[in-house]
Structure 1
């Protein structure tokens, strides 16, 4: 299976809903890092640059195998 790099931005707040943004999926980790570099100076992102997270994942793999409570 091919590895791809899933880029997210997440920020937790004590008094309101957290921010979770799916930025994109990239072919290489270097591509994901370039995306971060292009966004880190933008409003919101620049205030919390440590919020970027790169998650390597395999194509064709189901990542969530259980139900959920609604």
Structure 2
């Protein structure tokens, strides 16, 4: 176990779907390309609770309210290696 602190990266992902398209096809969800997504980094927080409070403040705002479930909190332990296997093709 490490003594390094954990930081919490808060991001929001919004899928853009043209209004004339249903996000489901034959009952199955469609998958969007990166060109149809918007990613926003809201901040880096010292606790999960602080990130969750930021979500509650951001959720009703323009750019977030249309995708209220698009928030993601990613914990990162300082000095911990990520992507240790190199680039994935």
TM-score using structure 2 length: 0.65
Unaligned runs of 5+ in 1: none
Aligned to 1:19: 38
Give CA deviations for 1:21-69 in whole Å, capped at 9, x if unaligned.
1111100000000110110010121111100000111112343443478
Aligned to 1:52: 71
3-state SS of the aligned residue for 1:49? coil
Aligned to 2:24: none
Aligned to 2:5: 2
Where has structure 1 moved over 6 Å in runs of 4 or more? none
Unaligned runs of 5+ in 2: 17-31
- Number of residue equivalences: 69
TM-score using structure 1 length: 0.80
